[in-house]
Structure 1
Amino acid sequence: MTRISLELIPRSRSALRAELAEVQATFPAVDTVNIPDLTRFSTRSWEGCAFARPHFRAIPHIRAIDLNPREPLPMAGLLVAHGIDEVLIVTGDAPSDMNRQVYHVDAEQAIRRFARELPHVRVYAGLDPYRQSFAKERDYMERKLEAGAVGFFTQPFFDLRLIEAYADLVPQGAEMWWGVTNVTTEGSMNYWATRNAAVYPKHFELSLDWNRRLAADTLQFARDRGQHVYFQPIRTDIREYLNGII
């Protein structure tokens, strides 16, 4: 059965609580939220996910480079206390603040550690269609599965044809979360192209209507395959973006 998640940004605890309440009241089909771990905000991803429980299933993003290999996992107790049994592990970008401590830990190492220390937690890894060739990303996916991941969250796609191409590369049995976001300004479009090397199709439009059609098509794609989808609303009203789609 297809699950639907919203990616919510923990800008503040009060704002996150309000957004969770709005989603609960407006979109009963949304059963999951996933929350990134952004170092510029004080609320860690797993703390934000605790606010979502028990109404939503919650998936915190865990940055591998933040995990001190000589200390216990800092989120372990909270995950257990709130019944959070899924996480997304990414390597993580180096912090802009050079005083912030990071470690030489990559996603594969962190996945193995979670499998060893928190075996009841289902671990997802990242799939990035823009960072390297199809073959290299396929091999990277296979290594993450061997490390203990059960499936993947993708970077947001802007072209259903590219989703279909990657769907053919996903190893058998991997659980998939296909990602979609809304890009409706030149600044946002340039950000994704510059920061993430995103690729836009020729027919791409900055209109909300175009982005809503992509969201609806991606959801149908996931449902047809018994896979999952997450939506990442960017600086837009969630209801305007997704009302009538979910």
Structure 2
Amino acid sequence: MTRVSVELVPRSRSGLRAELETVAAHLPGVDTVNIPDLTRYSTRSWQGCALARPRYRAIPHLRSVDLNPREPLAMAESLDAAGIDEVLIVTGDAPADMSAKVYNVDAVTAIRRFQRELPHIRVYAGLDPYRQSFARERDYLERKLDAGAVGFFTQPFFDLRLMDAYADLIPEGAEMWWGATTVLTEATLNYWRARNHAVFPRTFAPTLEWNREFAEKTLEFARERGHHAYFMPVKADVREYLEGIV
């Protein structure tokens, strides 16, 4: 059965609670919330996910570079207390504050650690269609599955043809979350192209109409394959972006 998640940024606890209420009131198809771990905000991803429970299943993003290999997993008790049994592990970017402590821990190592220390937690890993060749990304996915991952959250796509090409590369049995996000300004479009090397079709337009239409197509794409979908409103109003679609 296809699940639908909305990715909400925990800029503040009051703001997150308000967005969760909007989702509950206007997006009845959403059954899951996933929350990134952004070090510039005081609310960590697992704390934000706790606010979404028990109404929603909740998936916190965890950065492998934040996991001190010599100390217990800092979020373990909080995950259990909130009834959170799924996480997404990504490597994580270097912090903007160079005084922040990070560790030489990659995603594969972190997945193995969760598999060893918290075997009841289902771990997803990331799929980035833009960072390297098809073959290298496929091999990277295999290593993550071998480490204990159950499936993948993709970076947001903007082209169904590219999604279809990657769908053929996914190892059999992996649980997939296909992502879409909002790009509503030329500045955001340039960011995705320059920072993430994202691929946009010629028909792309930074309008709410185009983004809504692609969100609908992404959900249909996931349902046709028995996969899941997640949506990142970023700075867009979550209701304007997704109402009537999910």
User: Which TM-score band applies after superposition, normalised by the shorter structure?
Assistant: over 0.9
Question: Residue 226 of structure 2 aligns with which residue?
Answer: 226
Question: Residue 68 of structure 1 aligns with which residue?
Answer: 68
The alignment partner of 1:20 has SS state of helix
Number of aligned positions between the proteins: 246
CA contact (8 A) 2:27 2:244 kept: no
| Alpha-carbon distance in 2 for matches of 1:46, 1:10 | 10
1:130, CA displacement in angstroms?
A: 0.2
| Alpha-carbon distance in 2 for matches of 1:110, 1:13 | 27
* Cα deviation 1:125-174 (Å, max 9, x = unaligned): 00000000000000000000000000000000000111000000000000
**TM-score, normalised with respect to structure 1:** 0.99
Letter of the 1:136 counterpart: R
| Alpha-carbon distance in 2 for matches of 1:203, 1:21 | 34
Question: Residue 167 of structure 1 aligns with which residue?
Answer: 167
Question: Residue 19 of structure 1 aligns with which residue?
Answer: 19
| Alpha-carbon distance in 1 for matches of 2:193, 2:199 | 7
The alignment partner of 1:6 has SS state of strand
Runs (4+) off by over 6 Å: none
1:234, CA displacement in angstroms?
A: 2.4
Question: Residue 238 of structure 2 aligns with which residue?
Answer: 238
1:139 equivalent to 2:134? Answer no
- Residue segments in structure 2 that go unaligned for 5+ positions in a row: none
| Alpha-carbon distance in 2 for matches of 1:75, 1:235 | 27
CA contact (8 A) 2:9 2:234 kept: no
* Cα deviation 1:146-204 (Å, max 9, x = unaligned): 00000000000000111000000000000000000011100110111111111111111
CA contact (8 A) 2:8 2:234 kept: no
1:200 equivalent to 2:206? Answer no
| Alpha-carbon distance in 2 for matches of 1:58, 1:234 | 18
Question: Residue 129 of structure 1 aligns with which residue?
Answer: 129
**TM-score, normalised with respect to structure 2:** 0.99
| Alpha-carbon distance in 2 for matches of 1:211, 1:29 | 18
1:5 equivalent to 2:5? Answer yes
Letter of the 1:18 counterpart: A
The alignment partner of 2:153 has SS state of strand
The alignment partner of 1:123 has SS state of strand
1:240, CA displacement in angstroms?
A: 1.3
The alignment partner of 1:120 has SS state of coil
The alignment partner of 1:178 has SS state of strand
| Alpha-carbon distance in 1 for matches of 2:235, 2:63 | 24
- Residue segments in structure 1 that go unaligned for 5+ positions in a row: none
The alignment partner of 2:123 has SS state of strand
